[in-house]
Amino acid sequence: MENIYAIVIGISDYQDPAISKLKYTHADAKAFAELLTDPDRCGIPKDQIKILIDEEANCYNIKDSISDWLFQNANEDSTAVIFFAGHGGSEPSRRPGATDASDKYLLPWDTKLKNLYASAISCLAFNDLLDRVNVKRKVIFMDACYS
């Protein structure tokens, strides 16, 4: 398991009080990270896993974990694992001529519900982040609406 890198994100309690709390997402993320490091199961070294829980899972830290930490550590023979448990959301599309009436987002901890476009990570932006990481395999686990 030397060449596997994981980013595990779990958000239960959001900064914006307008975003409802989730009961188990932070616990699910912690349990998933424990599964990955368990020597009898996956055995991934702890320094190859980045865990972002609640306020640590802000927009900057999520993007930085993928675009810098994962990009710098993984290589073309690596496997990248991304686990996200938290809210997803949508709002009317702001793209002219959009064929879909709404844009979909992953909601980091510091999302402002009144403007997802400015404060959340669009699914298009998330895919773009992942496309910039040159690894052999990408395994994505999403537990979010609109994911």
> What are 16-53's pLDDT values in tens digits?
999 999 999 999 999 999 999 999 999 999 999 999 99
φ and ψ at residue 68, rounded to 5 degrees: -120, -65
**Model pLDDT, residue 18:** 97
**Model pLDDT, residue 147:** 57
**Model pLDDT, residue 96:** 78
Q: CA separation (Å) from 116 to 15, 90, 141? A: 14, 8, 22
> What are 83-132's pLDDT values in tens digits?
999 999 998 877 777 666 788 999 999 999 999 999 999 999 999 999 99
**Model pLDDT, residue 98:** 62
DSSP string computed for 26-76: HHHHHHHHHHHH-TTTT---GGGEEEEEGGGS-HHHHHHIIIIIIHHH--T
